[in-house]
């Protein structure tokens, strides 16, 4: 394919992406463009399935939906590629190091053999030949020293490269586990943590409680005041949740305007107290416009609490009971905590 043909194909994808965004009233942000460009390109099958399902379900592509798509299908893929490239780079570094060590080892072995030969020759040599043998030994020793210095230099350089890669990989791993908007753990990290914490609780027999938290009337904030305020609401809730957790507690964004907290070694009544503290803390906050002081109204959340049943619970059972309790809070008028029955 010629560069001209390739550019023509890319232009076609770009046009389809912009058309799709316009038709669905998607904000023209870079992360949104990357979603629809990938959709038009057609190679990311999972992204295409997710978008097609949202279209079939007649969902609005608001900031919350598009950000979830971006984090799940674009950002995750980029981070995965970074990890793969870093892994490949580490392999190349180690291959080079091993080759250098192997060369150095061969040089050392040859040096030892030559020393043995020199020793035998010295035994039969006259005084006039001794100087020549010493000169050869000095030359070989100097060569071996140079190889040793080169090996040390490469090992030092490789160690520095590996350290840089290690830092980069740690940053990528951290980003993969965090929600881009709120800065707390994302759904992927929650799915991994709940499995691990349930296994630990069942092994030790200790309590484990789950809190599901949902922002009341969140759609109203988005519809009446715009998505930027909706984003700010999510950040405020996330900040309160981070302030509440202690020790081994875990907080994450579960999806959309819903959050989840895992409280290990906490009985049901203790989890209820934590939930009430969260509810009161958020309900005490009033959203106001900075420049005019105009009130956007009270911010409240509804919460559901469940406690692990060690002998029977699977992950879905545990989450479902907390979710049912949450929707009971919604049915009871919101701004309420409900503990599983």
Q: Are 129 and 172 members of one domain?
A: yes
Residue 262 lies in a domain: yes
Q: What pLDDT is recorded for position 111?
A: 52
Residue 231 lies in a domain: yes
The number of beta carbons lying within 10 Å of the beta carbon of residue 173 is 12
| 136 compared with 240, residue with greater pLDDT | 240
Contacts of 178 (CB under 8 A, 6+ apart): 184, 185, 186, 189
pLDDT band at 28 (very low <50, low <70, confident <90, very high): confident
Q: Can you tell me which residue has the tokens 């030790």? A: 204
- From 12, 28, 61, the end of a domain falls on 61
Q: Are 309 and 263 members of one domain?
A: yes
Beta bridge partners of 213: 259, 303
Domain count within the chain: 3
Q: Are 240 and 151 members of one domain?
A: no
Q: What pLDDT is recorded for position 338?
A: 97
Name, of 34-48, 149-163, 211-225, the range with top average pLDDT: 211-225
Q: What pLDDT is recorded for position 91?
A: 56
pLDDT band at 332 (very low <50, low <70, confident <90, very high): very high
Residue 181 lies in a domain: no
Q: Above 90 in pLDDT, residue 335?
A: yes
Q: Above 80 in pLDDT, residue 331?
A: yes
Residue 43 lies in a domain: yes
3-state per-residue secondary structure call for the chain: CCHHHHHHHHHHHHHHHHHHHHHCCCCCCHHHHHHHHHHHHCCCHHHHHHHHHHHHCCCCCCHHHHHHHHHHHHHHHHHHHHHHHHHHHHHHHHHHHHHHHHHHHHHHHHHHHHHHHHHHHHHHCCHHHHHHHHHHHHHHHHHHHHHHHHHHHHHHHHHHHHHHHHHHHHHHHHHHCECCCCCCECHHHHHHHHHHHHHHHHHHCCCEEEEEEEECCHHHHHHHHCHHHHHHHHHHHHHHHHHHCCCCCEEEEEECCEEEEEEECCCHHHHHHHHHHHHHHHHCCEEECCCCCCEEEECCEEEEEEECCCCCCCHHHHHHHHHHHHHHHHHCCCCCEEECC
Q: Which domain holds residue 117?
A: 78-176
Q: Can you tell me which residue has the tokens 């840089």? A: 164
| 312 compared with 162, residue with greater pLDDT | 312
- How far is Cα 112 from Cα 117, in angstroms, rounded to an integer? 9
Q: Above 90 in pLDDT, residue 143?
A: no
* Mean pLDDT score, 318-336: 96
CB 16 within 8 A of CB 40: yes
Q: Can you tell me which residue has the tokens 């900075």? A: 290
Closest CA to 275 of 302, 300, 254: 302
Q: What pLDDT is recorded for position 178?
A: 84
Q: Above 70 in pLDDT, residue 142?
A: no
* Mean pLDDT score, 181-195: 91
Q: Above 80 in pLDDT, residue 214?
A: yes
Give tens-digit pLDDT for 291-300: 777 778 889 9
- How far is Cα 15 from Cα 25, in angstroms, rounded to an integer? 15
Closest CA to 274 of 211, 321, 335: 211
Q: Are 230 and 317 members of one domain?
A: yes
Q: What pLDDT is recorded for position 158?
A: 59
For residue 180, give both structure tokens. Answer: 């881009």
The answer to whether the predicted template modeling score (pTM) of the entire model surpasses 0.75 is no
**Residue of 257, 258, 294, 340 marked active site:** 257
> Is 161 one of the catalytic residues?
no
| Share above pLDDT 70 across residues of the chain, in percent, rounded to a whole number | 70
* Mean pLDDT score, 249-277: 95
Give tens-digit pLDDT for 48-66: 888 888 888 888 888 778 8
Domain with residue 322: its CATH number is: 3.30.70.270
Closest CA to 68 of 43, 41, 50: 50
Q: Are 258 and 199 members of one domain?
A: yes
Q: What pLDDT is recorded for position 287?
A: 83
Q: Are 224 and 316 members of one domain?
A: yes
Closest CA to 15 of 36, 32, 44: 36
Give tens-digit pLDDT for 71-123: 777 766 655 555 556 556 655 655 555 555 555 555 555 555 555 555 555 45
- Of 74-78, 194-198, 240-244, the one with minimum mean pLDDT is 74-78
- How far is Cα 136 from Cα 93, in angstroms, rounded to an integer? 34
Q: Above 70 in pLDDT, residue 161?
A: no
Residue 72 lies in a domain: no
- From 118, 143, 176, the end of a domain falls on 176
CB 278 within 8 A of CB 240: yes
- From 176, 205, 229, the end of a domain falls on 176
Q: What pLDDT is recorded for position 22?
A: 84
Q: Are 16 and 127 members of one domain?
A: no
Q: Above 80 in pLDDT, residue 176?
A: no
Residue 182 lies in a domain: no
């Amino acid at each position: 394919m010629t560069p001209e043909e390739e550019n023509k194909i890319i232009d076609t994808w770009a046009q389809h992406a912009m058309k799709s965004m316009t038709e669905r009233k998607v904000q023209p942000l870079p992360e949104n463009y990357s979603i629809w460009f990938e959709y038009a390109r057609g190679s990311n099958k999972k992204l295409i399935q997710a978008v097609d399902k949202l279209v079939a379900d007649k969902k609005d592509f608001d900031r919350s939906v598009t950000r979830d798509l971006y984090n799940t299908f674009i950002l995750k893929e980029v981070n995965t590629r970074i990890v793969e490239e870093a892994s490949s780079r580490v392999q190349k570094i180690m291959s080079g190091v091993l080759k250098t060590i192997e060369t150095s080892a061969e040089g050392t072995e040859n040096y030892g053999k030559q020393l043995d030969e020199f020793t035998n020759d010295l035994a039969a040599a006259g005084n006039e030949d001794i100087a020549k043998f010493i000169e050869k030994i000095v030359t070989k020793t100097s060569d071996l020293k140079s190889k040793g210095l080169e090996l040390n230099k490469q090992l030092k350089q490789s160690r520095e490269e590996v350290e840089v890669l290690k830092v980069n990989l740690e940053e990528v791993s951290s980003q993969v586990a965090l929600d881009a908007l709120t800065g707390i753990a994302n759904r992927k990290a929650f799915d991994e943590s709940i499995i691990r914490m349930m296994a630990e609780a069942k092994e030790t027999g200790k309590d484990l409680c789950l809190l599901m938290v949902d922002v009341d009337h969140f759609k109203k904030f988005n519809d009446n005041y715009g998505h930027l305020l909706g984003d700010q609401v999510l950040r405020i809730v996330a900040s309160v949740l981070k302030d509440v957790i202690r020790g081994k507690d875990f907080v994450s964004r579960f999806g959309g305007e819903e959050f989840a907290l895992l409280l290990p070694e906490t009985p049901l009544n203790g989890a209820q107290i934590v939930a009430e503290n969260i509810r009161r803390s958020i309900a005490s906050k009033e959203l106001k416009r900075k420049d005019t002081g105009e009130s956007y109204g009270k911010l409240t959340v509804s919460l559901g609490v469940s406690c692990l049943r060690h002998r029977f619970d699977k992950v879905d059972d545990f989450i479902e009971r907390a979710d049912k309790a949450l929707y009971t809070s919604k049915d009871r008028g919101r701004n309420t905590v409900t503990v599983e029955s």
